[in-house]
Amino acid sequence: MKKYILVDNLWELKRYKSSLGKRWIVEIDPGDPLKLSKLQSFLFSYQLIEKPIVFIESVEKWNKEDLKWLVEALKKSEADVVISSSRSEILKKFGKFEDLSAPKPWETEKWVGKIKEISKYHSTTINTDAALELLKRVGTDLDLISKEIEKLSVISNHPSLEDVQEMVPLYAKPNLFEFIYLTLSKNDMALEFLKEILIDTHPLIVVKNLENSGVLLTQLILIGRKDHSWNDIKDVSKRLQVKTSQIADLVGFSIGNKKRKNLLKVIKFDDMIHFLEELQDVEVKIKNGGDSKFLLLNFVKEWIQGKKERDLNVYE
């Protein structure tokens, strides 16, 4: 038996392992410096009383030479092997694979279906309204969704919309990500969002998030491509090691009902360099004891109003 699975979350990985039953599973960690010698033993040993399933996780973390060795070794081995990876191009080296990836961020119906599937695994049922609320609060993260459903299953076999609202926290500060986009878009609404955020969020956290998004937008401008397909976004995500949702926001890729303007078409490289330099100056002043809230509010106000070349509407 040779199985290859494309998986980008622990929930599906855990479920897949449980589906293997009570067989002895030997797990090979990608960071284990002795992994090749261990594999040599299990792939080519015929003295074992019980034949194990050799589970090789995250092969995308292997170096090219070790990966090449593994591809050739599996051709000669009769062992039962499962290989997992988050990258399809890696799995294609071995053969056909099963896709256990999470739904795309905009595939709301599939996410609701997945939430109901996870609920069933935890011996509960959840209706569509409650599932949508859970998705809104947790976001598109199957591992966090599973964790929260497990908590909900303790209080009810049929958690309601009200149960989700009462028991499930908002994992992300929802206004922070919206604020960053509004700020980069030079939209006046950003100031109102910032005032609300600063009630319970330290200004330096906001500065760091603004800086990260500003650097990302600058990198995207340097790439030189203004229009991005979903495949383009995934490719850039891997290259820059950032979430696809962050890139989608900045390049105007519509996810679900959320529609954005493409900032690559309205923000210039020189503007972003100035933005980052000024933001760095704000950070230094805050760390030196300056009035953090005033400095940050003034920075955002000047960026939006003082250097505003045009009035950009955030939503189409």
The H or E element containing residue 4 is strand 2-6
The stretch 80-92 carries a mean pLDDT of: 91
Examine domains 108-167 and 174-306 and report if their fold is the same. Answer: no
Which CATH number applies to 2-99?
3.40.50.300
Per-residue model confidence as pLDDT tens digits over 130-175 = 999 998 888 888 888 999 999 899 888 999 999 998 888 777 555 6
Residue range 174-306 in CATH 1.20.200.10: no
CB neighbour burial string for 288-307, b if at least 16 within 10 angstroms, e if fewer: eeeebeebbbebbeebbeee
150 to each of 84, 119, 133, how far by Cα in Å?
Answer: 25, 8, 16
Distance separating alpha carbons of residues 216 and 267, to the nearest angstrom: 13
pLDDT in the model for residue 155 = 85
Distance separating alpha carbons of residues 226 and 263, to the nearest angstrom: 9
Residue range 108-167 in CATH 3.40.309.10: no
Question: What is the side-by-side strand order in the sheet with 80-85?
Answer: 25-28, 53-56, 80-85, 2-6, 98-99
Distance separating alpha carbons of residues 113 and 229, to the nearest angstrom: 25
Per-residue model confidence as pLDDT tens digits over 164-214 = 988 887 775 556 888 898 899 898 888 988 988 888 788 888 899 899 999
Q: Enumerate the domain spans of the chain.
A: 2-99, 108-167, 174-306
Contact criterion met (CB below 8 Å) for 272 and 218: yes
Distance separating alpha carbons of residues 202 and 205, to the nearest angstrom: 6
pTM of the model: 0.56
41 to each of 26, 46, 54, 79, 149, how far by Cα in Å?
Answer: 11, 9, 11, 11, 40
